Amino acid sequence: MREINFDGLVGPTHNYAGLSRGNLASSEHSGRPANPRAAALQGLAKMELLHRMGVGQAVLPPQPRPDVRALRALGLRGTDDAVLRAAARDDGHLLRLCSSASSMWTANAATVAPSADTVDGRMHLAVANLSAMFHRSLEAATTHRVFSAIFSDPRWFEVHAPLPSGSAFSDEGAANHLRLKTTAGTTHVFAWGRSGFEPEGRPARFPRRQTREASAAVARLLCLRDGLAMPWEQDPAGIDLGAFHTDVLATGNESFLMLHEHAFSHHRDLVAELRRRLGDELSLAVAHESELPVRDAVSAYPFNSQIVTLPDGTMRVIAPTESRDSDTARRFLERVVAGDNPVRGVEWVDVNASMENGGGPACLRLRIPLEPTEIAALAARVLVDDVLLAELRSFVERHYRDRLVRDDLADPALLVEVRTALDELSRILSLGSVFDFQRP
Query: Of these residues, 245, 262, 267, 399, which one is catalytic?
Result: 245
The per-residue DSSP string of 81-130 comes to: HHHHHHHTSTT-HHHHHTS--GGG-GGGTEEEE-GGGBTTSSEEEEE---
Query: Of these residues, 260, 363, 374, 399, which one is catalytic?
Result: 363
Round to whole Å and give the CA distance between 338 and 326: 18
**Helix, strand or coil, per DSSP, at residue 237:** helix
Round to whole Å and give the CA distance between 93 and 372: 46
Helices 80-87, 412-428: crossing angle, 10 deg rounding: 120
Query: Quick check: is 281 catalytic?
Result: no
Q: Identify the sign of the CA torsion 252, 8, 139, 320.
A: positive
Give the max Cα distance, the chain. Answer: 64
Query: Quick check: is 172 catalytic?
Result: yes
Query: Quick check: is 356 catalytic?
Result: no
Output b/e per residue, 301-320; b: 16+ Cβ within 10 A: bbbbbbbbbeeeeebbbbbb
Query: Of these residues, 51, 98, 139, 172, which one is catalytic?
Result: 172
**Helix, strand or coil, per DSSP, at residue 232:** strand
Query: Taking Cα atoms as reference points, which of 47, 40, 31 lies closest to residue 11?
Result: 40
**Helix, strand or coil, per DSSP, at residue 411:** coil
Residues labelled as active-site residues = 172, 245, 363
